[in-house]
Amino acid sequence: MVLPDVLVLGEILVELSSTDPLDAGTNLTLNFSGDALNAAAASAAAGARTALLARVPDDELGDRLLDRVVALGIDTSLVRRVNGQHGLYLQHADPSGAREFTYVRRGSAGSGLGPGDVPLDLVAEVGAVLASGIACAISPLSAKAVRIAAQHSKCFVYDPNWRPRLVSAAGAATHLRAVAPYTRLITPGWPREAQLVADTDDPAAACTTLRGLGIQAVALTRGEDGILLDDAGRLTEIPVIPAPRIVDQTGAGDSFAGTVTARLALGDDLLTAVRLGVAAASLSVGGLGGTGHVPTLTQSQAHAATTEVSA
């Protein structure tokens, strides 16, 4: 395979979504999603050669899944086909962001990703590696895979992406601390994810605490208040860019993380990468599902140009 710019680790999920409440007789749209796929799609759209490291069931639905991954411009050379069941989720989405998820993923083939699946030589050479707290939470083996990838990566990006149904607050904090010394950038949500390890109501102080764990930079996502970027102690406020169309907010955070990782791997400075990530996330909510709308690099750049940044 051609050396990728970005490697994304995690589980790919079958997605069944509707704009109507979930009930008997609800019409559902079949797609494929999960935070790893959403982020990888954003990375590829942002211009990076992007590969997914994942396990996918070796069946007909798995064939369709990989067709979709390829269509999104993602390299599947590191995807292992294995026996087992798909993980899936059903979701009801609406423009307000009030989402209803039902997951069926316990014991999925994707959760069997382990350290033996991680190509250490390749990890050490790629521009950046991206993983999330979900990949750490789905199984102890998957958590070990994330940690070993972080240790060998020259630029590791971590999205805490805490899901209480998968892991306790204490468990999510343990995963975060384990990868912190190897992390170039972390993208926690405020306040819930930052407060996993930072006992403070001050966003700037939370960033300082996170950097004290060994993390080089923090992009603290604060909803309508925008991003607080702490790059080695230098604080920058990055405002939200209003979305031109809102259909479903699923995967917006993944789009942000994937876009930022791609641009870092391609040599952009952190501020430029984060601004572009904000723009991509804003545009991504215009489609149904995690990969319903993946903006192009040109679209994200034009959208990013509509805002100003203040230090």
pTM for this predicted structure: 0.94
- Per-residue pLDDT for 187 more than 90? yes
- Per-residue pLDDT for 268 more than 80? yes
User: Over the stretch 90-131, which tens digit does the pLDDT of each residue have?
Assistant: 877 666 665 556 777 788 999 999 999 999 999 999 999 999
- State mean pLDDT over 65-80: 97
Give the Cα separation of 157 and 288 in Å (integer). Answer: 26
Give the Cα separation of 152 and 133 in Å (integer). Answer: 18
pLDDT at 211: 98
Q: Which residue has the tokens 């079958």?
A: 14
pLDDT at 309: 56
User: Over the stretch 121-180, which tens digit does the pLDDT of each residue have?
Assistant: 999 999 999 999 999 999 999 999 999 999 999 999 999 999 998 899 999 999 999 999
Confidence of residue 17 (pLDDT cuts 50, 70, 90): confident
Here the tokens at position 255 are 């789009």
Residues 6+ apart with CB under 8 A from 174: none
pLDDT at 290: 84
- The reply to whether omega before 191 is within 30° of 0 (cis) is yes
Q: Please state, as a whole number, how many other Cβ atoms lie within 10 Å of the Cβ of residue 302.
A: 13
Here the tokens at position 15 are 């997605």
Q: Where are the domains of the chain?
A: 6-10+33-82+114-296
Give the Cα separation of 299 and 296 in Å (integer). Answer: 5
User: Over the stretch 189-245, which tens digit does the pLDDT of each residue have?
Assistant: 999 999 999 999 999 999 999 999 999 999 999 999 999 999 999 999 999 999 999
* Range 6-10+33-82+114-296: architecture per CATH: 3-Layer(aba) Sandwich (3.40)
Q: Please state, as a whole number, how many other Cβ atoms lie within 10 Å of the Cβ of residue 262.
A: 33
- State mean pLDDT over 233-260: 93
Mean pLDDT, rounded, of the chain: 93
Strand partners, 131: 158
Give the Cα separation of 106 and 86 in Å (integer). Answer: 10
Given a contact cutoff of 8 angstroms between Cβ atoms, the answer to whether 241 and 217 are in contact is: no
Q: Please state, as a whole number, how many other Cβ atoms lie within 10 Å of the Cβ of residue 124.
A: 13
pLDDT at 99: 59
Window from 11-25, 58-72, 268-282 with minimum mean pLDDT: 11-25
